[in-house]
C-alpha cells in the first residue's frame, strides 16, 4: 500500500464515521469512530440479506463479530445454520456455534460476541478443516462500500485475513458469496483498492439491496510477501497456517506494507 492510498482510505473512514454521527444514525456502541459502525436500520438491512437465495441455501455462515451484523448472526442460528465467527482481532482464532446445542432462549445472546464465547466452541485450524466442508456465505462488516463492490473496513485487515485463511484451507473460493450490511450514508462513489482487499457480491442498506454483478476478483489466499511480521506475531492462526503450509518465509518486516 502506498502512503497516498493509505491517506485516502483513512480520510474516507473519518468522513463516514463523522457523517453517521452528525446525521444521527450512528447506533451503540458509540462513538463509531474506529469501529465497524453500527447504524439505525441495521436490522432492516439484515432482513434484505436473509431473502437472498444464496442465504437461504447456505448451511455454514461465516460472520464478523461486529455490532451491525448481529442480526445476521442471530438469523443464521434461528434458521439452523452453523455459524463460524472470528474472535476479535483473530487472537483466539474462530468460534463455531451449532444452533442444535443452543437453547432457544439463548439464541440472541449467542449472536453477541460475549455470548458466542460462552455458548460457542473455540476451534483451531485443524479442527476447522475436519469439521467444516465449506463455508457457504460470508458476512463481513464495512465502513464504506462503493458502486463496484469494493469495501473499506476499519483499517486493520482482519476481514481479508479471515477470508484468506479460509481460502488456504479450501473452505472458500472465488465464488463464495460475500455480503455486508451498511447505512445508505456509507455508500461512496469510488474506493481505492489494494491487492489483498476483498470485493462484495451484495450490500444491503435499510432502503435497498445492491448486487455487484461485475465485482473484481478476490485475492487467492494469503499474499505472504505482503504480510507484515508484526501482524504474524499478533495472530496465532496465521502462525499455525504458515506451519501447516510449510511457508519458509511467511512475512516481511516492512511496516509500510500490509492492510490498512
Cell output for 131: 469439521
What pLDDT score does 254 carry?
60
Asked if residue 104 lies in contact with residue 80, where contact means CB atoms within 8 angstroms, the answer is: no
Asked if residue 168 lies in contact with residue 241, where contact means CB atoms within 8 angstroms, the answer is: yes
Q: Find all residues with CB under 8 Å of 90, minimum gap 6, and list them.
A: 158, 161, 162, 235, 236, 237, 238
CA distance 202 to 186: 14
CA distance 40 to 250: 41
pLDDT tens for the 260 residues of the chain, in order: 678 999 999 999 999 999 999 999 999 999 999 999 999 999 999 999 999 999 999 999 999 999 999 999 999 999 999 999 998 888 889 999 999 999 999 999 999 999 999 999 999 999 999 999 999 999 999 999 999 999 999 998 999 999 999 999 999 999 999 999 999 999 999 999 999 999 999 999 999 999 999 999 999 999 999 899 988 999 999 999 999 999 988 998 765 444 54
Nearest Cα to Cα of residue 38 among 69, 75, 72, 74: 69
Is 207 exposed, middle or buried (CB count within 10 Å of its CB: 0-12, 13-18, 19+)? exposed
CA distance 10 to 2: 12
| pTM of the predicted model as reported, rounded to 2 decimal places | 0.94
Judged by DSSP in three states, 249 sits in: coil
Each domain of the chain, given as residue ranges in start order, spans: 3-211
CA distance 143 to 17: 8
- CATH homologous superfamily, domain 3-211: NagB/RpiA/CoA transferase-like (3.40.50.10420)
Amino acid at each position: 500500500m502506498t502512503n497516498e492510498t493509505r491517506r485516502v482510505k483513512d480520510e474516507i473512514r473519518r468522513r463516514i464515521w463523522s457523517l453517521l454521527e452528525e446525521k444521527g444514525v450512528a447506533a451503540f456502541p458509540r462513538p463509531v469512530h474506529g469501529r465497524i459502525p453500527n447504524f439505525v436500520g441495521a436490522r432492516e438491512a439484515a432482513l434484505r440479506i436473509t431473502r437472498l437465495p444464496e442465504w437461504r441455501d447456505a448451511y455454514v455462515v461465516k460472520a464478523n463479530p461486529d455490532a451491525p451484523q448481529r442480526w445476521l448472526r442471530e438469523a443464521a442460528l434461528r434458521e439452523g445454520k452453523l455459524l463460524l465467527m472470528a474472535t476479535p482481532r483473530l487472537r483466539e482464532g474462530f468460534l463455531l456455534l451449532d444452533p442444535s446445542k443452543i437453547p432457544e432462549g439463548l439464541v440472541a445472546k449467542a449472536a453477541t460476541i460475549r455470548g458466542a464465547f460462552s455458548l460457542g466452541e473455540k476451534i483451531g485450524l485443524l479442527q476447522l478443516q475436519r469439521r467444516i466442508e465449506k463455508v457457504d456465505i460470508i458476512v463481513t462488516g464495512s465502513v464504506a462500500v462503493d458502486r463496484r463492490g469494493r469495501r473499506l473496513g476499519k483499517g486493520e485487515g482482519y476481514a481479508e485475513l479471515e477470508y484468506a485463511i479460509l481460502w488456504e484451507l479450501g473452505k472458500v473460493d472465488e465464488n463464495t458469496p460475500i455480503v455486508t450490511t451498511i447505512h445508505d450514508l456509507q455508500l461512496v462513489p469510488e474506493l481505492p483498492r489494494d491487492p489483498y482487499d476483498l470485493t462484495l457480491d451484495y450490500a444491503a442498506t435499510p432502503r435497498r439491496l445492491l448486487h455487484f454483478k461485475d465485482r473484481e476478483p478476490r485475492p487467492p489466499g494469503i499474499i505472504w510477501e505482503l504480510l507484515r511480521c508484526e501482524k504474524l506475531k499478533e495472530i496465532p492462526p496465521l502462525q499455525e497456517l504458515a506451519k501447516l503450509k510449510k511457508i519458509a518465509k511467511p512475512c516481511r518486516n516492512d511496516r509500510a506494507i500490509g492492510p490498512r
